[in-house]
């Protein structure tokens, strides 16, 4: 009952790889955009904020379709990547990582931005008056303070990536060993006779992985609240 078949193990390994790379790829953009939205005031800021959070409210299939249009072999970005760099994302595991990164990006962005909003800007100003450059202030003052928020966002995005289905299957299809992550494998097993046991095993495994990420995320969020002087919920 609990031993995984080679196909199930392959789906598990691929899901972990895709989720990990999706978090790594989106982290720099999430931190940069969180800083822009938290520290800068400019016309259209609310619109930019809304666009960054669109994957939270759009149907995942819509996100996957737009990714296919943009990053497909004939898409404006996909054709450029293929012709000049030899990079193909559609129907590859790297495309699955991109889809997961887009879907998990708003969760990471919100966690990092909330941490930035809680930072006392007076500390940054004090460091600047001592001659520190903006980059050094961010690296030595801001970054350590928002680290729990960054870790929380990474774990939330990781958990979201483990459960991503709609955007993934629309953009990269269902290719065993290449794009068949845990959710896609579960869907596949539910469509074949006698696949219920395999689907159940992968469902339980997905629940445990996501639950573990959420528990760790909640722990880090509580620690961040304590460090910020908040009250432990």
- CA–CA gap between residue 96 and residue 73 (Å, rounded): 15
CA 83 to the chain's CA centroid: 27
Give residue 229's pLDDT: 57
Residue 51: its pLDDT value, please? Answer: 94
**Residue corresponding to tokens 């970005």:** 77
CA distances from 62 to 23, 99, 163, 167 (A): 21, 11, 17, 7
What rounded mean pLDDT belongs to the chain?
A: 88
Q: Report residue 152 CA to chain centroid gap.
A: 11
pLDDT at 220 over 90: no
Instruction: Tell whether the model's pLDDT for residue 38 goes beyond 70.
Output: yes
Mean pLDDT for the stretch of residues 14-43: 94
Q: What percent of the chain shows pLDDT beyond 90?
A: 51
> Which range is least confidently modeled, 61-70, 74-83, 117-126?
117-126
| Rg value, the chain, Cα | 20
List CB contacts of 123: < 8 A, sequence separation 6 or more: 141, 145
What's the pLDDT score for residue 211? 87
| Position 94 pLDDT exceeds 90 | yes
Model confidence at 166, in pLDDT bands (50, 70, 90)? very high
Please compute the mean of the pLDDT values over residues 95-117 and round it to a whole number.
Answer: 94
What is 6-227's CATH number, 3.40.50.720, 1.10.3720.10, 1.10.390.10, 1.20.140.10?
Answer: 1.10.3720.10
Rounded Cα distance, 187 and 165, in Å: 9
pLDDT exceeds cutoff 50 at 76 = yes
Please check the confidence at residue 79 and state whether its pLDDT lies above 50. Answer: yes
Domains of the chain, by residue range, sit at: 6-227
pTM over 0.75: yes
């Amino acid at each position: 009952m609990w031993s995984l078949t080679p196909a199930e193990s392959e789906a598990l390994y691929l899901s972990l790889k895709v989720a990990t790379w999706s978090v790594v790829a989106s982290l720099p953009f999430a931190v940069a955009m969180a800083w822009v939205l938290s520290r800068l005031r400019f016309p259209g800021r609310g619109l930019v904020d809304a666009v960054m959070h669109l994957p939270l409210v759009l149907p995942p299939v819509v996100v996957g379709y737009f990714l296919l249009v943009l990053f497909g072999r004939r898409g404006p970005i996909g054709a450029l990547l293929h012709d000049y760099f030899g990079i193909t994302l559609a129907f590859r595991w790297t495309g699955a990582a991109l889809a997961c990164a887009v879907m998990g990006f708003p969760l990471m962005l919100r966690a990092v931005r909330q941490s930035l909003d809680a930072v006392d800007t007076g500390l940054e100003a004090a460091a600047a008056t001592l001659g520190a450059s903006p980059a050094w202030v961010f690296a030595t003052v801001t970054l350590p303070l928002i680290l729990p928020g960054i870790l929380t966002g990474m774990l939330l995005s990781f958990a979201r990536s483990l459960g991503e289905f709609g955007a993934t299957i629309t953009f990269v299809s269902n290719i065993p060993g290449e794009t068949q992550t845990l959710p896609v494998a579960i869907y596949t097993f539910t469509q074949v006779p006698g696949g219920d046991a395999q689907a159940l095993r992968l469902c339980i495994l997905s629940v445990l992985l996501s639950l573990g990420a959420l528990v760790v995320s909640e722990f880090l969020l509580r620690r961040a609240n304590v460090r910020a002087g908040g009250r432990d919920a």
